[in-house]
Structure 1
Amino acid sequence: MILRWLVVLFAAFSVALPAAASPVRLKDLVEFDGVRGNDLVGYGLVVGLNSTGDGLRNSPFTEEIMSNILERLGVNISGEQFRPKNVAAVFVTAELPAFARAGGQIDVTVSAVGDAESLLGGTLIMTPLNAADGQIYAVAQGTIIAGGVSAEGEAGGVTQGVPTSGTIPSGARIEREISFDFTDLEVIRLALREPDFTTASRIERVINGAVGRGVAAMLDSGTVRLDIAGMRAPSPAHALAQVENLLVEPERKARVVVDQRSGTIVMGQDVRISRVAVSQGNLTLRIQERPLAVQPNPFARGQTVVVPRTEAQIEEEPGIGLAEVPEGTSLSEVIAGLNALGVAPRDMIDILKSIKAAGALHAEFVVR
């Protein structure tokens, strides 16, 4: 019976059910202190566009950077009327991975700044990438792979995707390394991606059980302290290699996630609902204006007058009446109770909001 309810709910209400919690590798639950990437950004010029670049009258910054690049290359264009249509000013962004070494290559994303129509087929000219400290850590250059296409005619056009943004795989070469000595760490903090006291306690217990000593200590719901010296490993890298693949069963909050645009409802396995009665119906108000022109009789004195006429109508659908949703002690029972209401997906979202407001839905309610 429960299986039949689940099948009906998937087909009618677009409700997705996450799988039961299962053991997860430690590396997928936490971030290791010091092991992180760094964001890079740069401002550059794309050339080689097919008359889809910036309009230089509307984007003077494009002309300025183009002049600076040409002057660095020994070309003097002072006082010249140089207004090409195949160049565009862009922002270049990338992430410098942890422990990246000089000479390595990373991917970059290129996005138009001005009124360029498309970056398709363009080439990024050598662009330095800076970090938050203002230092240059990489240099980007290469052919852009645009993320869309655009076509235009005299009477209209069509655009698919985003042609003003693209990527360059391995388009930046690392020139400077992050000054961070990982080998000197004596203590490493493990930061949980989703803080939870139960999960942090389980991480502490699993690590101590695997090592055989009390090397891990829970500091709060989002942090576990790992004693490198107590693990007696040759280095912090060896210590993390010993623990990062340990399996831990995470504890998740009871949560209901609703996407109003698509009508999708996602429920966690720990969602519970108290006994509640629900009534739902739709009320439609229609107002139409139908003015009527009134004319005098033939050969009679008078003038044409427009008489206003308004028609107002209220329609109310029968709805579901007052239905009882029984108390659910499991996700299957909650689903069966809600599905018994027999309403559309978007009406189901409104019902869940009302049940939450009434205090009968025991879960975090997230609307996107």
Structure 2
Amino acid sequence: MKPVLSLVAACMLSVFANAAQIKDIANVVGVRENQLIGYGLVVGLNGSGDGSSSEFTIQSLSNMLQTVNVKIDPNDIKSKNTAAVIVTAKLPAFARQGDKLDVVISSIGDAKSLQGGTLLMTPLKGVDGDIYALAQGSLTIGGKSQGRNSGNHATAGTIFGGAFVEREIVYDIYNQEAINLSLKESNFNIASNIQNAINLQVGGNVAVAIDPRTVRVSKPDGASMVEFLAGILEIDVDYKALDKIIIDERTGTIVSGVNITVDPVVITHKDITIKIEPNSYEDGERAIDIKDGTSIDPVANLIKVSGERTTVASVARALNKLGASPSDIIAIMENLKRVGAIHVDLEII
């Protein structure tokens, strides 16, 4: 039997306007996480580490031993209890020295498993090359049963709170006279709504929409920027999310707004034919529900959809009933977009 494509009607993508707090749809420019990365060694593996073909692991182990006054030729190292790994972490905004960070460890050699390993002290650097944290500790593999952590072949792990912040990223927000809000999605209407909502709440013209992505907000005289930001980020504004269709090609999941329609069109894909017809009933006749207006001929692989409006959900549901594969449904959706039958953005992830 062909796999069935799952269809989720996302309330988050609904066409209805909703109220949203500014903090949910915009960020304060400069206040963000920073990515950290480092190269390290995991030891204590039960013969499941990198083999002799991973020369960088052997050389790294030799260099590490020299730091503790043990000099050894890399050619004499045969240990399979060590693995070379890449360590990554996220440095939160306003992190202070001594704060703990979660780190993710991933093998880069031919290690079979990192199960039971311990990460040796690893410096984590930012894009500028400076060290911002130090990571060390025992790995937690977790209970995953698929992917890289399947069975005994766990080549990635985590150390919760395994890194300590050593260097802070300074951002002097207290002495700022103005800040910029960056919208998560460019939209003229939302930028204007944020500007108007802040000015209405605070008074005056403290907020100015510079472009569809940026709103500049000036601090009132005598106010604390921290307290001022805490207040404006809680303000509710009229918000309407952009309609879009998101397709997860790996899992075969389609997420779309509940009211995204498909224009009349005829499309043939392999042995499947879809015919979407405009409203064909007479004036005054009761509208036909989408479900009732969809007819499927399994023998001819023909889907006929007629009614007041045809949605992406009804097309996907009909294709599922016909037994179309996920790849077939994704291809049909892409072609519906190309021909202009769907008027919203289509995003493949």
Q: Same fold (TM over 0.5)?
A: yes
Cα-Cα RMSD: 3.0
Bigger Cα displacement from structure 2, 358-367 vs 237-246: 358-367
Residue 363 of structure 1 aligns to which amino acid in structure 2? V
Structure 2 residue aligned with 1:34: 30
Q: Distance in 1 between matches of 2:252 and 2:222?
A: 53
> 1:93 aligned to 2:88?
yes
Alpha-carbon offset, residue 53 of structure 1: 0.7
Residues 264-289 of structure 1: CA deviation (Å, up to 9, x unaligned): 32222452333x143657549xxxxx
Q: Percent identity?
A: 40
Counterparts of residues 256-267 of structure 1 (less than 5 Å): 256-267=245-256
Contact residue 277 and residue 324 of structure 1 kept, 8 A: no
Q: Distance in 1 between matches of 2:27 and 2:314?
A: 39
Where 1:141 maps in the other structure, the secondary structure is strand
Structure 2 residue aligned with 1:278: 266
Question: Which of residues 302, 308, 314 in structure 2 aligns to 1:320?
Answer: 302
Where 1:63 maps in the other structure, the secondary structure is helix
> 1:133 aligned to 2:120?
no
Structure 1 residue aligned with 2:223: 233
Question: Which of residues 172, 182, 190 in structure 2 aligns to 1:191?
Answer: 182
Structure 2 residue aligned with 1:288: none
Contact residue 106 and residue 172 of structure 1 kept, 8 A: yes
Bigger Cα displacement from structure 2, 337-346 vs 121-130: 337-346
Alpha-carbon offset, residue 232 of structure 1: 4.3
Question: Which of residues 199, 209, 214 in structure 2 aligns to 1:223?
Answer: 214
> 1:17 aligned to 2:9?
yes
TM-score (structure 1 length as normaliser): 0.75
Alpha-carbon offset, residue 334 of structure 1: 6.3
Q: Distance in 1 between matches of 2:144 and 2:262?
A: 48
Alpha-carbon offset, residue 217 of structure 1: 1.1
C-alpha change, 1:76 and 1:223, in structure 2 (3 Å) is same
> 1:51 aligned to 2:40?
no
Where 1:209 maps in the other structure, the secondary structure is helix
Q: Distance in 1 between matches of 2:250 and 2:44?
A: 39
C-alpha change, 1:360 and 1:231, in structure 2 (3 Å) is farther
Q: Distance in 1 between matches of 2:182 and 2:271?
A: 50
Structure 2 residue aligned with 1:5: none
Structure 1 residue aligned with 2:234: 245
Q: Distance in 2 between matches of 1:264 and 1:187?
A: 43
Contact residue 271 and residue 301 of structure 2 kept, 8 A: no
Alpha-carbon offset, residue 353 of structure 1: 3.6
Where 1:115 maps in the other structure, the secondary structure is coil
In structure 1, runs of 5+ residues without a counterpart are 1-11, 151-157, 285-315
Residues 203-234 of structure 1: CA deviation (Å, up to 9, x unaligned): 11211121122211111111111112x36422
Contact residue 255 and residue 364 of structure 1 kept, 8 A: yes
Counterparts of residues 138-217 of structure 1 (less than 5 Å): 138-147=133-142, 159-160=150-151, 163-217=154-208
Structure 2 residue aligned with 1:360: 341
> 1:74 aligned to 2:74?
no
Residues 160-205 of structure 1: CA deviation (Å, up to 9, x unaligned): 4961111111101111111332223222111111221111111112
Bigger-Rg structure (1/2):
1
User: Between Structure 1 and Structure 2, how many residues are aligned?
Assistant: 311
Q: Distance in 2 between matches of 1:352 and 1:58?
A: 47
Where 2:191 maps in the other structure, the secondary structure is helix
Larger relative contact order (Cα-Cα within 8 Å, sequence gap ≥ 6)? 2
Q: Distance in 1 between matches of 2:312 and 2:44?
A: 59
